[in-house]
Amino acid sequence: MASELLHTYAKAGLPVPELVGEFVAGGGPDFAGYPWLANTLRSLAPMARRLGISLGPLGDLDTLVQRLRTEAAGERRDFWSPPYVGAFVRVP
């Protein structure tokens, strides 16, 4: 949706919105992003199944946190979440 926010606001008859974006970044064995990602994927799994999107390549979501920690720490990799984009307008 982030790439469509400007056009969506315009279609709704609103002024051009201000956009704000951010993401989560970090790494190491204690980084809170690993459980965040695993929990996000776990919450999306039912909808993915309904839409026919396979999460099989991710393996067991119940072991994803530990696998992320092990792989990221072992390979000295950083974690970057997808960007979050918000939009707002002030209507006179």
pLDDT of the residue at 43: 94
pLDDT in tens, 11-62: 999 999 999 999 889 988 888 889 988 999 999 999 999 999 999 999 999 9
Given a cut of 80, whether residue 92 has pLDDT beyond it is no
pTM of the model: 0.65
Q: Rounded to whole angstroms, how far apart are CA atoms 80 and 6?
A: 25
CA 19 to chain centre: 17
Question: How many other β-carbons are positioned within 10 Å of the β-carbon of residue 38?
Answer: 19
For the chain, the domains span: 2-88
Question: How many other β-carbons are positioned within 10 Å of the β-carbon of residue 64?
Answer: 19
pLDDT of the residue at 48: 94
pLDDT of the residue at 80: 86
